Chains A and B, each alone.
Chain A
Amino acid sequence: MRGEVAIVGYGRTPYSRAKPGEPVLNVDEYIAWAADLALQKAGMSKNDFDGQGLGVSHAEVAHTVNWSAATAENLGISPQVLLRADQGGASAASMLIRAAAMIHAGIVDRVLVVGADTPLNIPSVAPGLPLSPERTRGVYWDFQGPFGVMGASAQFALVQTRYMHEHALTSEQLGKIAVSARYHASLNPGAIYRKPFTLDEYMNSRMLSDPIRLLDCVPIVNGGLAYIVTSGKTARSITDKPVYLRGFGEINNYYHGSRALPDITTTGFVQSAPQAMKMAGVQHKDINFFQPYDDYPFIAMMTIEDFGFCNKGEGGRFVEEHDLSFNGDFPMSTDGGQLSGGQPGGAIGGFMPLVEAVTQLRGEAGVRQVKNANIGAACGFGGIPYGRPGRSCISLILGTEP
């Protein structure tokens, strides 16, 4: 399936922190806005998707039953195929794989994939930290909330503490990732936080859940993203800049070691990345930039390692020894990532690595453009399992040639 499908359009709405006085858009409006941007980029109309595919990502804000079909109804599209992903931050990547398989099978020729969320519109008992109803019910919540688990920061802090016990990693190395993301955000008008900060400011930021600091944490926003994937043939007929899906790999609910007592310092990218690279026929040296799912610098660092850019345990040193900026020797999170760009809910943040990879490969990244970008890697990372780091780990290799 290498290079059989291509992305021909993408959209990313402005994000909002829902400050007083700002207009409050709902999730349907953000979906339509993102889809509109993607359709304009592709030179297509919504009617091109009648009888084709529509993919809808999960959202945490309250929505109706039959959410994907209801979204089709909202948009006035009559698709033959509906895709619906509930893989958190891996949803965008997983729908690309599902869409590619549908196109490969000849069932449809093209799929419009949308995702939006308005977590800041969810009534919350903890300001700025919304808890949707589905996060606070069921066995998964009952064995965490009452036990004193303080959300993703605490869950990832536990992984990071264990990692730092087993491997060499300094806070300064992680700080470099955060500082670099903010630098890229300063070059991206769409990022929510754009004022650069220094490593000292990172180190002095308030400790929230040791060893995770305030500037390690992703800021939550409202917003929407979308992309359009078509057969290679259709892509070449409508754009001179198709971005081909060259390879993909996916693993869900990965255990490193035993199920009862796994090693939590290794993620499923150790499986999905080699799978994607083998399919794409590329090696690490061929990859011009890396767009990890960067909700925390530590997660981005582990993903670098597990993707195989360095040996396990050497991710901190790798970060230290490389220039992560768009014009450096290891361009990473070139849009400011989620860390400084903002996360429109955990599920929708997963569109950002993919959309930025496509933006770079089409040469549309403006002042943050990676020179000669022909092959890029992007990740989906979704959900936090009990006592482990990531439920879904998806690796994508994209390129300007099939």
Chain B
Amino acid sequence: MADLGQSKPLPDITDLTRPFWTAAKNGKLVLQKCQRCATFNFHPKPWCIECGSRELQWTAAKPSGTVYSYTVSRTVAMNSPAWAAEMPLILCLIDLDDGARLYGQVTGCRAEDIRIGMRVDVHFEDISDEAGIPKFRPALQPATAG
């Protein structure tokens, strides 16, 4: 069980998930790409959820995407109280340009400005000696396509 007492939760890093956390620590976004059907899988899976191939290879993904949906969390729930200092927290579902969807916090954006369709870029935050985590911020360049 994760220690949820004084700090934000850290992942239990396993051989399956280590490439993701290590890459994020080094400022890179990698996802499992299926070598048979080219689907990007996220979160990490034991095989491709599209075609069932176990040939998944950690592959750099384009560090940009679009806000599919958002919420502004104003109180900690079912997570560590350490998050309270970051409230209100903008949590989004981000559709990466490479075709995977993930939960991601959007920073550098006022709560009232977050929108579906907003273009975002990835940045990374160190969360431990072993792991970083991707977050997002509004893209500097205006969207060219939805």
A interface residue numbers (CB < 8 A to B): 125-126, 129, 131, 133, 135-154, 157-159, 161-162, 165, 206-212, 258-261, 264, 386-387
Contact = CB atoms under 8 A, between A and B. Distances in A.
Nearest to B105: A148
B17 interface: yes
A268 B110 CA distance: 35
21 contacts: A126-B80, A131-B4, A136-B9, A137-B1, A139-B16, A139-B17, A140-B43, A143-B102, A145-B2, A147-B102, A148-B79, A152-B77, A153-B73, A158-B71, A208-B73, A209-B71, A209-B74, A210-B71, A261-B100, A264-B69, A386-B43
Interface of B: 1-2, 4-5, 8-12, 14, 16-17, 39-44, 49-50, 68-81, 83, 86, 89, 91-93, 95, 99-105, 111, 116, 127, 133
A63 to B, nearest CB: 15
B91 A151 contact: no
Contacts of B76: 126, 150
Contacts of B86: 148
B60 to A, nearest CB: 17
A267 B4 CA distance: 32
A332 to B, nearest CB: 26
Nearest to A147: B103
Contacts of B79: 126, 131, 145, 148-151
Contact of A261 (B8, B17, B75, B101): B101
B43 A146 contact: no
B91 A154 contact: yes
Given A148-B86, A148-B89, A141 B2 contact: yes
A40 B23 CA distance: 60
Contacts of B9: 136, 141, 145-146
